[in-house]
Structure 1
Amino acid sequence: MPTPKGKKAPARTAAGELLTDLVLQVFKANTTLETAAPAVIQDDRINSPKWQILGAIRHEGKTAAQLGRELGMSRQITLWNARSLAGDGLIAFEANPNHQRAQLATLTDEGREVLEKLTANQVAWINELSGGFDQEQLSVALRTLQALCERLR
């Protein structure tokens, strides 16, 4: 809520200050990760959302709405990226026994091969990146971000 003109904005609590710093750092980390992604992906057909979609349908087909909810994307953005993946032959849309119109996005053989390469690239990259981090600190950071996401829902 905006502060009325002429009124002083309320001060943040100590926890509010820390959470503000954390949120700003998450924004910065997201930008940095998005910038680093092409070096990890090494495939001009794939961007971060498309990679997430491929990973999300690794074991079973999902609708655009299911993918959107799982990945935190709108159904429209998910569907746009899924259609692009289908155009590249990496996924296919199949009939959904639970819904007449909402088809299931599934990996094609080529899509599975691309995902395996992406996974291998990510494993090498993340293992190198994770060197020197304390596992307990990483666990605390993960739980904190999970709790933040849960509160924002």
Structure 2
Amino acid sequence: MTQEEQDLLSGAALTSFRLSGQFLAVAEKLARPVGLTAAWWQVLGAVLREPLPVAGIARAMGITRQSVQRIADRLVNDGLAEYLPNPAHRRAQLVRPTQAGYDAVRKIDPAHAAFAHRLTQAMGAEELEAALKAMTTLSRVLDDLDAE
């Protein structure tokens, strides 16, 4: 490994940590007015299309199963999500938003759309698309390397 390779790895990692913090700050600003946190929105967002077990949500979001479990329990207690039986695994219940959970996430949509427009205008659609493609590729390669 050369120093340049190490610098690239460090730069990519540090930039991703900064981006993660920036995205979480934006998510907090978007979610707070509707009574959600960024973490709650993240977990609800993971199960909008289909119910998932806590471990599946954690894998999809890149966070710990324990963190997701705490958030899911809170969402269930607050009436924003519910647990369902999982036919594939008796002990790993599925998490699904309730109607109140769907409604809360939908209330974020106008502010989310406005911020997405501002970001796209500031960065340019092509550059933002290229950044997304690069981040997606980097994530896939890191998964592949981790599996080796």
State whether TM-score is above 0.5: yes
* Number of equivalences: 143
Q: Look up the match of 1:38.
A: 28
Q: Look up the match of 1:114.
A: 104
Task: Show CA shifts across 1:1-22 (max 9, x none).
Answer: xxxxxxxxx8522x55344333
More helix by share: 2
Q: Among the aligned pairs, what percent are the same residue?
A: 27
Confirm whether residue 25 of structure 1 aligns to residue 24 of structure 2.
no
Q: Look up the match of 2:59.
A: 69
Contact 1:49 1:81 in 2 (8 A): yes
Structure 1 unaligned regions, length at least 5: 1-9
Q: Which runs of 4+ in 1 moved over 4 A?
A: none
Contact 2:50 2:96 in 1 (8 A): yes
Specify whether residues 139 and 25 from structure 1 end up closer, same or farther in structure 2 by C-alpha distance, changes over 3 A only.
same
Confirm whether residue 53 of structure 1 aligns to residue 53 of structure 2.
no
Letter in 2 for 1:93: Y
Q: Give TM-score, length-normalised by structure 2.
A: 0.84
Partner SS for 1:131: helix
Distance 1:53 1:16 in 2: 34
Offset, 1:43: 4.2
Task: Show CA shifts across 1:8-67 (max 9, x none).
Answer: xx8522x55344333322222222222233221124752222211111111211100111
Specify whether residues 60 and 100 from structure 1 end up closer, same or farther in structure 2 by C-alpha distance, changes over 3 A only.
same
Whichever of the two has the greater Rg, that structure is: 1
Q: Give TM-score, length-normalised by structure 1.
A: 0.81
Question: What value does the CA root-mean-square deviation take over the aligned residues?
Answer: 2.0
Structure 2 unaligned regions, length at least 5: 144-148
Distance 1:63 1:75 in 2: 10
Letter in 2 for 1:34: L
Letter in 2 for 1:96: N
Q: Look up the match of 2:3.
A: 12
